[in-house]
A and B are shown apart, each in its own frame.
Chain A
Amino acid sequence: MLTRRKFVALGASAIATAGYGAPMAFARAATHRRLVFIIQRGAADGLATLAPVGDPAFLSQRGALARDFASAPKLDSMFALHPSLTGMRRLYDAKQALFVHAVASPYRERSHFDGQNVLETGGGSVNALKDGWLNRLLSLLPPEDKGIALAATVPMALRGPVPVASYAPSTLPNASQELLTRVSDVYDADPQLHAVWAEAIATRMLTSDFAAGDGKNAASTGALAAKLLSAEDGARIAMIETSGWDTHAGQRGRLLAQLKALDVLLASLQQGLGALWSDTLVIVATEFGRTVKVNGTQGTDHGTGSMAMLFGGTVNGGRVVADWPGLSDAALYEGRDLKPTAGLDTVITSAVAPHFDLTLQRAAAKLFPDVRSSGPISNLVRG
């Protein structure tokens, strides 16, 4: 939806402050550390990205979806990465990739819209907070440090009191993202319209062109993000929206294209950042997971537990972190979903705090004030 071909044509001159179209000036940044948050909108299937091939129930539960992993090299005794993720595999081998499995935000329903709200606000429940955790993170950093969204407008995670820029493509034929966001606000208290609107937004995500052009869109997005983060006075925090992860039908083919695009995006980001990659942390997360079993249309439906990914030079990578709950029927959440055993908030805090040299308590209290954290996961990232 938001990573468009137009990115390439418009370049950095199209960057504007949120909403008002005025050009943005970047002040000299105080930190060398970079953070990129990539959101997978639409509920990405963690089990099909990093498959627990060592789980005895894996083959029987995943049916046709297990086939992708028939010859996939294993990362450890339990997990194998989707074979299309060759770039990620290289980062893993270079100890610059770390996966946390069976992860979820505090949200336990299955609406995309609400799930993304919780993921982005960092609240304990839907609409509990009115600004995003990335914006609150910016408030902890020196004021020179800027945030930017690679999106038509500022997504929820970056919204808040700290001014943030967003990439603004030319007038869209469809309603602008900003308007869509406002409409979400105005339907908040209206149960009928809220439900219908949530579905409208979810449907819109299905028509994403993130994976289009055989990865060309993804590559240009990664390159643009790198460019924006590379400038001495450029942004230090960037958010990239990817969509099209809602694979209710024909999942194998669709997910293959999605994962390839993500892999390409990551590679072009790394390439564009050059030496700065060693100061970079990339967090990839989705609003919730998908059902363990395959549905009637060779896809999966909205679930609960998924995974989070960390990449970059500051990551203590080359490992999978998981308190694995198991895939047997008895082990599933509500009899259908991967049971979450780690909080997404915990993963984010544990990675972001050392990355920006913040204390864990301070970061946790600011980013996820409503969430009762289960204690940090140590050593995800080097300080």
Chain B
Amino acid sequence: MSETSIALNRFGLGGRSGNDPGPDPRQWLLGQLGRFEVRPKAAGSLAPSGQIVGELSTYQLTLLDLQRVEREKPPSPPSSEMSAKPSVSKDADSNYSQNAGNDPVNLHRRNGRLQARTHYGLAVTARTATAVTGNAPFVERLTHFWANHFAVSADKLEVLALGGSLEFEAIRPHVLGKFRDMLFAVEQHPAMLLYLDQAQSVGANSEMAQRAPHGVKLGLNENLAREILELHTLGVRTGYTQSDVTEFARALTGWTVTGLSVGRGGAFGSGTDQPKGFFFSTFLHEPGTRTILGKSYNDFGERQATAVLEMLATHPATANHIATKLARHFAGDDPPAPLVSRLAAAFLKSDGDLPTLYRVLVNSPECWVKTPVKFKSPWEWAVSALRALDTQQILAGDTVSLFAQLGQPVWRPGSPAGWDDVASAWVGPDAIMRRVEAAQRMVQRQGGQMDARARAVELFPGALSEPTRRTIAAAGNPTEALALMLVTPEFMRR
């Protein structure tokens, strides 16, 4: 690969008309740090998380009310039809199940799901449009990198509705800032608090637990505490113990979300005058001093966990963890140790200043090796394909299913660890077949009059192999040639 091709494809998101790195590819990359749009146009009309949190809490309250009404309803007199049947077959009776599908509770659930899916679809489309049309593709790539580092998975209703806002509100504003600030924004974002069950975590000795009626189970949830240590900061097996996890979880109690906490429908803290979202409740907080990684933290309420996060944000293990992941993303699945060391040192020296790390990446020879070092993930592949076709309009609805079909539904990795950033996660027969099928569909939809032979040279300047060039030229017709271009070995890797 030429340096121009590396800048476009390995650092960027693939070529697009008008995206010429010019004579100095490194300068082109670093220049993007000044051009990045925190609030891109495509995301302009997305609902802010506060609004979505309000919707979700109203939804929950209504659901509880409806369920109570259903419970308290006197059993309806059996119709003659129904009574003619033995009661054991009631569930299997089609009339009965049809009625069940239309009862107010189910209807409400369905509407809630629909609303959440709408938020999700709009956010996926905004993300894709920004990636495909944006003119700071290197920083867009980094945004995706961090969103995957701080992954939520849109499997439950709350995260389906809020998942996109985490990236737009907590990642984008800090992708060119300090790691600490991004960490704080993420851990206090309602999507994360709800995804990792922090919103429902209650200290055993909190007022809330003390006052809970007999038989009501309230207690500590360690999920967020554990994943902050294991995934977001220090990294797995870096020396912290179960006791550190539990103590951190106790310190985090009280970090919750307005209207989506514990109590009756989680309505707790949902005063109408209060901004919706992160909320600290002394009522849920476990009192007392905590000891984490050998250091004790006095109880300052909300700021107890904040102090722990401050410590984690600049911990050497965190520096090493972040350095390793960044190096893996730009220098190959087995990141070169010297690059990791330089990045970790830069992280500690700059107090986690992210642009400092990006400059190290751009100026490291390990990131400019001539052979491709990464196999594109489905997201990377599809975005680069849409860019290659100069796609102008990203249609809502198309994108959600496109990424699902390719095997990487956006914001749905299924685990807080996010998607794997190694080739073995993505190189599979079915996965490649799906790319070929998707390429054909994309080209049929928007290939236009593009000449694949000329286009391929622009996309991979000085990096197009002779066999690839020949095969594209030999294709039976222009659309086939374009589809073929999108799945060439050059296009699959970066």
Chain A residues proximal to chain B, CB less than 8 Å? 18-20, 174-176, 178-180, 182-183, 185-190, 192-193, 196-197, 199-200, 202-204
| B436 and A180 contacting across the interface, CB-CB below 8 Å | yes
| A176 and B428 contacting across the interface, CB-CB below 8 Å | no
| B475 and A182 contacting across the interface, CB-CB below 8 Å | yes
CB neighbours (8 Å) of B429 from chain A are: 196-197, 199-200, 202-203
Name the residue on A nearest B423 (C-beta): A192
Q: Is B471 an interface residue (CB 8 A)?
A: yes
| A183 and B477 contacting across the interface, CB-CB below 8 Å | no
Ordered by A's residue number, 24 sampled pairs between the chains whose C-beta atoms are within 8 Å are: A19-B476, A20-B477, A174-B437, A175-B436, A175-B440, A175-B483, A178-B476, A178-B480, A179-B440, A182-B474, A182-B475, A182-B480, A185-B474, A186-B468, A186-B471, A186-B472, A186-B488, A187-B489, A189-B465, A193-B432, A196-B427, A196-B432, A200-B432, A200-B433
List the 4 shortest-distance A-B pairs measured between CB atoms, nearest first: A19-B476, A200-B429, A199-B429, A186-B471
Contact among A20, A183, A186, A192 for B467, CB-based, below 8 A: A186
Give the distance to chain A from B354, nearest Cβ to Cβ, in Å. 33
CB neighbours (8 Å) of A202 from chain B are: 429
Q: Besides the contacts A182-B480, A193-B489, what 15 more A-B pairs have beta carbons closer than 8 Å?
A: A18-B476, A19-B476, A20-B477, A175-B439, A175-B483, A178-B480, A179-B436, A179-B483, A182-B471, A186-B467, A189-B465, A193-B492, A196-B432, A200-B432, A200-B433
| A183 and B487 contacting across the interface, CB-CB below 8 Å | yes
| A185 and B471 contacting across the interface, CB-CB below 8 Å | yes
Name the residue on A nearest B480 (C-beta): A179
| Interface-central residue, A176, A183, A192, by most chain B CB under 10 Å | A183
Give the distance to chain A from B133, nearest Cβ to Cβ, in Å. 27
Q: Give Cα A192 to B429, complex, Å.
A: 11
Contact residues of B between 421 and 461, Cβ < 8 Å to A? 427-430, 432-433, 436-437, 439-440
CB neighbours (8 Å) of B472 from chain A are: 186
- Contact A20/B476 with A186-B487, A186-B489, A193-B489 known, Cβ cut-off 8 Å: yes
Q: Is B7 an interface residue (CB 8 A)?
A: no
Name the residue on B nearest A186 (C-beta): B471
Q: Give Cα A18 to B433, complex, Å.
A: 23
Give the distance to chain B from A206, nearest Cβ to Cβ, in Å. 11
- Contact A190/B437 with A178-B480, A196-B427, A199-B429 known, Cβ cut-off 8 Å: no
CB neighbours (8 Å) of B475 from chain A are: 182
Q: Give Cα A179 to B477, complex, Å.
A: 10
Q: Give Cα A176 to B443, complex, Å.
A: 13
Give the distance to chain A from B427, nearest Cβ to Cβ, in Å. 6
CB neighbours (8 Å) of B488 from chain A are: 186
CB neighbours (8 Å) of A175 from chain B are: 433, 436-437, 439-440, 483
Name the residue on B nearest A180 (C-beta): B436
Name the residue on A nearest B483 (C-beta): A179
B 468-494 to A, binary, CB cutoff 8 A, 1 in contact else 0: 100110111100100110011100100
Q: Give Cα A226 to B104, complex, Å.
A: 62
| A196 and B428 contacting across the interface, CB-CB below 8 Å | yes
Give the distance to chain B from A234, nearest Cβ to Cβ, in Å. 24
Q: Give Cα A182 to B468, complex, Å.
A: 10
CB neighbours (8 Å) of B467 from chain A are: 186, 188-189
CB neighbours (8 Å) of B484 from chain A are: 179, 182-183, 186
Q: Give Cα A190 to B465, complex, Å.
A: 11
Q: Give Cα A192 to B427, complex, Å.
A: 9
Name the residue on B nearest A197 (C-beta): B432
Q: Give Cα A182 to B470, complex, Å.
A: 11
Contact residues of B between 163 and 190, Cβ < 8 Å to A? none
| Interface-central residue, A179, A196, A197, by most chain B CB under 10 Å | A179
CB neighbours (8 Å) of A178 from chain B are: 476, 480
CB neighbours (8 Å) of B465 from chain A are: 189
| B440 and A176 contacting across the interface, CB-CB below 8 Å | yes
Q: Give Cα A188 to B465, complex, Å.
A: 12
Give the distance to chain A from B438, nearest Cβ to Cβ, in Å. 9
Give the distance to chain B from A293, nearest Cβ to Cβ, in Å. 26
Q: Give Cα A192 to B376, complex, Å.
A: 14
CB neighbours (8 Å) of B480 from chain A are: 19, 176, 178-179, 182
Name the residue on A nearest B465 (C-beta): A189
| Interface-central residue, B432, B474, B476, by most chain A CB under 10 Å | B476
Q: Give Cα A20 to B437, complex, Å.
A: 20
Name the residue on B nearest A184 (C-beta): B471
CB neighbours (8 Å) of B439 from chain A are: 175
Q: Give Cα A235 to B408, complex, Å.
A: 47
Contact among B433, B474, B483, B489 for A204, CB-based, below 8 A: B433
| A200 and B430 contacting across the interface, CB-CB below 8 Å | yes
CB neighbours (8 Å) of B477 from chain A are: 19-20
CB neighbours (8 Å) of B430 from chain A are: 200, 203
Give the distance to chain A from B424, nearest Cβ to Cβ, in Å. 11
Q: Give Cα A179 to B483, complex, Å.
A: 8
CB neighbours (8 Å) of B492 from chain A are: 193
Q: Give Cα A43 to B98, complex, Å.
A: 49
Q: Give Cα A202 to B483, complex, Å.
A: 21
Give the distance to chain B from A151, nearest Cβ to Cβ, in Å. 14
Q: Give Cα A189 to B488, complex, Å.
A: 11
Give the distance to chain B from A184, nearest Cβ to Cβ, in Å. 10
Name the residue on B nearest A18 (C-beta): B476
Name the residue on A nearest B443 (C-beta): A179
Name the residue on A nearest B436 (C-beta): A175
CB neighbours (8 Å) of B436 from chain A are: 175, 179-180, 183
CB neighbours (8 Å) of A174 from chain B are: 437
Name the residue on A nearest B492 (C-beta): A193
CB neighbours (8 Å) of A200 from chain B are: 429-430, 432-433
B 295-318 to A, binary, CB cutoff 8 A, 1 in contact else 0: 000000000000000000000000
| Interface-central residue, A190, A197, A202, by most chain B CB under 10 Å | A190
| Interface-central residue, A19, A174, A182, by most chain B CB under 10 Å | A182
Q: Give Cα A366 to B476, complex, Å.
A: 26
Q: Give Cα A178 to B492, complex, Å.
A: 20
Q: Give Cα A176 to B487, complex, Å.
A: 14
B 401-430 to A, binary, CB cutoff 8 A, 1 in contact else 0: 000000000000000000000000001111
Q: Give Cα A286 to B489, complex, Å.
A: 30
Q: Give Cα A175 to B483, complex, Å.
A: 10
Give the distance to chain B from A298, nearest Cβ to Cβ, in Å. 24
Contact among B433, B476, B483, B489 for A190, CB-based, below 8 A: B489
CB neighbours (8 Å) of A180 from chain B are: 436
Q: Give Cα A175 to B438, complex, Å.
A: 8
Q: Give Cα A190 to B432, complex, Å.
A: 14
CB neighbours (8 Å) of A189 from chain B are: 465, 467
| Interface-central residue, B436, B472, B492, by most chain A CB under 10 Å | B436
CB neighbours (8 Å) of A190 from chain B are: 489
Q: Give Cα A181 to B491, complex, Å.
A: 18
| Interface-central residue, A175, A190, A202, by most chain B CB under 10 Å | A175
Give the distance to chain A from B473, nearest Cβ to Cβ, in Å. 11
Q: Give Cα A175 to B487, complex, Å.
A: 12
Give the distance to chain A from B158, nearest Cβ to Cβ, in Å. 35
Give the distance to chain B from A22, nearest Cβ to Cβ, in Å. 11
Give the distance to chain B from A283, nearest Cβ to Cβ, in Å. 28
Contact residues of B between 18 and 49, Cβ < 8 Å to A? none
Give the distance to chain B from A343, nearest Cβ to Cβ, in Å. 31
